[in-house]
């Protein structure tokens, strides 16, 4: 039973929780933990990148290329698991994606060469891309429109928690057991699948659609994958995908290299912090990231999703270049949470936006496509930023990521405002 929300000073932050029933709460928990563990596994690579490059004798370009491979394969994973989620269920797709990225993260610890690591990170990317598509569909179909923006904001904020957890693990495990030990820890999220199997239900909306179309003849009349590219919906798909590609280019270009930027010595363009000091700065930065994720949902409700997006993206385009030209640890410590707040918060709006644009029959497929095809373009970011950092310095490299955020803000000219539309 859905309960009315009573807005008071005391419950304003978490009052949205009462809009969902127990099934919605479990769906939220499953998607949030899956996304948190996704961040944990994926960001372990960025946090051990400098150590890994030294051990395997990799260049900055090769280090960036490895993360680019994961981002490219995540596009395929998003599409694959999106189709699985639409056809076989959001829950099954979520479980499969978590198992995939957990297992291959652990296997990365056995790598001896660049190419072995590249193959393993390719499969890791498939799982990484699949988690968001299945989790986003699970949450969007379990929560009413009145609470969807805020539910997504808190779900998306789990990424910051996973990133912070990865920073803590790297800070304590890396000095003792090295980068291989850090990757071995990354297999633990596989245990999460056991809880999902037991506690999470498929959304009634998805079950009802499947019940209405038991045979192939009935299904042929439903909207299909090709409809993503037809008419006005096709135009929207183009702008949504390109906007997301620009944001992801900026985000991955920055966050792949921030830990290495902090730990590399000054003669290599870095700040020269210790491993533990770098983990501390990254951990503090994640506080700003978490607050940014959560705040976006409330700001979006207050001023509209389009205005909130443009505000966050525009400020990010200014802050990111400033961050890259700093060398003072205290300035970076103070500036980092603001960079993370504005540079990451807008991701909270992407799930509700795409959920409200696309119908149930292709919702997970559309979310997987628009989010992860955007990662194909963003896959160039780690390589581009790494190459620019090697030749022009991190200031210029991070300025390119700021330009990507500015382009994303401009691309909103082609995206409709569908704030808090009821799902169909």
CA distance 368 to 380: 19
Written as six digits, the tokens of 250 are: 């900026």
For the chain, the structural domain boundaries read 20-204+228-414
Q: Which long-range contacts (CB under 8 A, 24 or more apart) does 109-116 make?
A: 109/179, 109/180, 109/181, 109/182, 109/183, 109/184, 109/186, 110/180, 111/56, 113/56, 114/56, 114/58, 114/62, 114/66
Supply the pLDDT for residue 222. Answer: 60
Q: What is the pLDDT along the chain (424 residues), one digit of tens a residue?
A: 344 444 444 456 667 778 877 888 888 888 888 888 888 877 788 778 888 888 888 887 787 788 778 878 887 888 888 888 888 888 888 888 888 988 998 898 898 888 898 899 899 888 887 887 788 788 888 888 777 778 888 888 888 888 888 888 888 888 888 889 988 988 888 888 888 888 788 887 777 777 665 554 444 446 677 878 888 888 999 999 999 999 989 988 888 788 788 888 887 877 788 877 887 887 888 789 889 988 998 898 889 889 999 999 999 999 998 888 888 888 888 898 999 999 988 988 888 888 888 887 788 788 878 887 777 777 788 788 888 888 888 888 899 999 999 999 999 999 987 765 666 5
Using the 8-state DSSP alphabet, how is residue 2 labeled?
A: P
- CATH superfamily for 20-204+228-414 is MFS general substrate transporter like domains (1.20.1250.20)
Q: Is 188 helix (H, G, I), strand (E, B) or coil?
A: helix
Burial grade of 239 (CB within 10 A; 0-12, 13-18, 19 or more)? middle
CA 127 to chain centre: 12
Q: Is 327 helix (H, G, I), strand (E, B) or coil?
A: coil
Nearest CA to 137 out of 378, 296, 419, 350 is that of 350
Written as six digits, the tokens of 303 are: 């001023």
CA distance 122 to 127: 9
């Amino acid at each position: 039973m859905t309960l009315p929300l009573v807005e008071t000073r005391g419950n304003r932050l978490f009052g949205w929780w009462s809009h969902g029933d127990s099934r919605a709460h479990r769906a939220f928990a499953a998607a949030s933990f899956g996304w948190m563990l996704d961040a944990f596994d994926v960001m372990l690579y960025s946090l051990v990148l400098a150590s890994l490059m030294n051990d395997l004798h990799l260049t900055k370009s090769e280090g960036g290329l490895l993360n680019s491979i994961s981002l490219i394969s995540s596009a395929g994973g998003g599409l694959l698991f999106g189709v699985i989620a639409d056809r076989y269920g959001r829950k099954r797709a979520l479980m499969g994606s978590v198992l995939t990225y957990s297992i291959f993260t652990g296997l990365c610890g056995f790598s001896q060469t660049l190419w072995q690591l590249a193959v393993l990170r390719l499969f890791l990317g498939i799982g990484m891309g699949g988690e968001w598509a299945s989790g986003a569909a699970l949450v969007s179909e379990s929560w009413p429109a009145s609470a969807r923006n805020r539910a997504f904001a808190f779900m998306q904020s789990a990424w910051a928690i996973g990133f912070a957890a990865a920073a803590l693990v790297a800070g304590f495990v890396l000095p003792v057991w090295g980068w291989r030990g850090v990757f071995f820890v990354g297999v633990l999220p596989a245990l999460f699948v056991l809880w999902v199997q037991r506690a999470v239900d498929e959304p009634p909306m998805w079950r009802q659609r499947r019940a209405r179309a038991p045979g192939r003849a009935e299904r042929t009349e439903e909207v299909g994958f090709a409809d993503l590219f037809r008419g006005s919906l096709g135009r929207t798909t183009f702008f949504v995908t390109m906007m997301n590609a620009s944001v992801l280019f900026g985000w991955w270009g920055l966050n792949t290299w921030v830990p290495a930027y902090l730990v590399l010595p000054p003669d290599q363009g870095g700040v020269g912090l210790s491993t533990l000091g770098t983990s501390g700065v990254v951990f503090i930065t994640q506080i700003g990231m978490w607050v940014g994720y959560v705040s976006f949902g409330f700001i979006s409700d207050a001023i509209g999703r389009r205005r909130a997006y443009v505000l966050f993206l525009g400020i990010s385009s200014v802050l990111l270049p400033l961050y890259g030209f700093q060398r003072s640890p205290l300035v970076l410590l103070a500036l980092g949470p603001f960079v993370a707040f504005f540079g990451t918060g807008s991701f909270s709006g992407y799930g509700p936006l795409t959920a409200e644009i696309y119908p149930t029959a292709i919702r997970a497929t559309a979310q997987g496509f628009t989010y992860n095809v955007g990662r194909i373009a963003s896959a160039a970011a780690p390589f581009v930023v790494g190459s620019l950092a090697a030749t022009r310095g991190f200031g210029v490299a991070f300025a390119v990521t700021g330009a990507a955020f500015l382009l994303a803000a401009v691309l909103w000219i082609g995206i409709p405002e569908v704030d808090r539309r009821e799902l169909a």
